[in-house]
């Protein structure tokens, strides 16, 4: 999902990800501004399609798109850079259970009322119950239609009202499908965190983004999380412990850089 202000980095990212082995095509969800011309603006090894949206909405990220041929979609922000090897590992993990969302940004949403916490908070507590959709594999057959269920309409309206929260709403949707009812046990994990070997978030180094004002962002997050809880009638998110395997946890000591994976 992108818009005109991001073009300078978008060109580089399209070139990079188009050369990853499992990428068959790239769809740019264009929310505002002059759209690019793929044949002129990008050096891509795969077809690039620009999907023009009439409304600047974060919900557009999960719009059911009949032109998408594959079951797997990597939902990716236009300011996230990872090596192709990490993408391929995530795709291989997703294929083992396509109903699961496999993502690279863990979060732990907890508290009364619910609070959004940064990645460092999740790492320090050794567990997560959400993964952000700025970099995550999704199932177009199940996840996208579920997001657009009529029952989820009040929560989608909240996303539009505050222009935030679509990634956590997808976590609520998938966790609810896994649990089935308040107080129920998850039938299968709705999400899985994939540790990247390297990950660069360009938004940490630029002024283009919607979460640079942390206090305002936190207030907004409490607003939409309260709405999501009311919409679903409970909090379906299920906690999972980190399994670092032969990798080490990330370095999270420098707040301005976020967590650094090496």
Please report the DSSP string for 176-191 in residue order. HHHH-STTPPPSS-SE
Cis peptide before 113 (omega within 30 of 0): yes
Distance (Å, whole) CA 162 – CA 158: 6
Distance of CA 236 to the CA centre of its chain: 18
Cα–Cα separations (whole angstroms), residue 210 to 60, 80, 165, 213, 238: 16, 15, 11, 8, 27
Q: Is 173:146 a contact under the CB 8 Å cutoff?
A: yes
Torsion of CA 77, 81, 83, 88, to 10 degrees: -10
Strand ranges for 34-162 from DSSP E: 48-52, 72-76, 80-81, 101-103, 106-107, 127-128, 130-131, 135-139
Beta strand 191-193 pairing with 101-103 = parallel
**Residues annotated as catalytic (active site), given as ranges:** 167
Q: Angle of helix 166-179 relative to helix 153-162, nearest 10 degrees?
A: 160
Query: CA 95: distance to chain centroid?
Result: 18
DSSP symbol at 211: -
């Amino acid at each position: 999902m992108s818009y005109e202000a991001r073009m300078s980095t978008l060109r580089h990212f399209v070139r990079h990800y188009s050369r990853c082995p499992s990428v068959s095509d790239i769809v740019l969800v264009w929310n505002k501004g002059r759209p690019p011309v793929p044949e002129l603006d990008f050096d891509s090894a795969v077809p690039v399609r620009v999907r023009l949206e009439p409304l600047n909405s974060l919900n557009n990220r999960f719009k059911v798109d009949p032109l998408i041929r594959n079951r797997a979609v990597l939902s990716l922000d236009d300011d996230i850079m990872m090596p192709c090897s990490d993408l391929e590992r995530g795709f291989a993990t997703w294929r083992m259970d396509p109903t699961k969302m496999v993502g690279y940004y863990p979060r732990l949403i907890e508290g009364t009322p619910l609070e959004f916490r940064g990645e460092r908070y999740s790492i320090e507590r050794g567990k997560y119950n959400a993964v952000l959709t700025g970099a995550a594999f999704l199932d177009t057959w199940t996840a996208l239609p579920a997001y657009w269920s009529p029952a989820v309409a009040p929560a989608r309206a909240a996303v539009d009202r505050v222009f935030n929260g679509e990634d956590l709403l997808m976590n609520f949707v998938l966790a609810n499908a896994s649990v089935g009812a308040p107080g129920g046990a998850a039938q299968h994990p709705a999400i899985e965190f994939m540790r990247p070997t390297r990950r660069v978030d360009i938004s940490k180094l630029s002024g283009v983004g919607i979460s640079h004002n942390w206090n305002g962002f936190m207030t907004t997050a409490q607003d939409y999380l309260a709405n999501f809880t009311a919409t679903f009638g409970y909090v379906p998110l299920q906690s999972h412990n980190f399994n670092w395997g032969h990798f080490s946890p990330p370095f999270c000591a420098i707040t301005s850089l976020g967590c650094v994976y090496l």
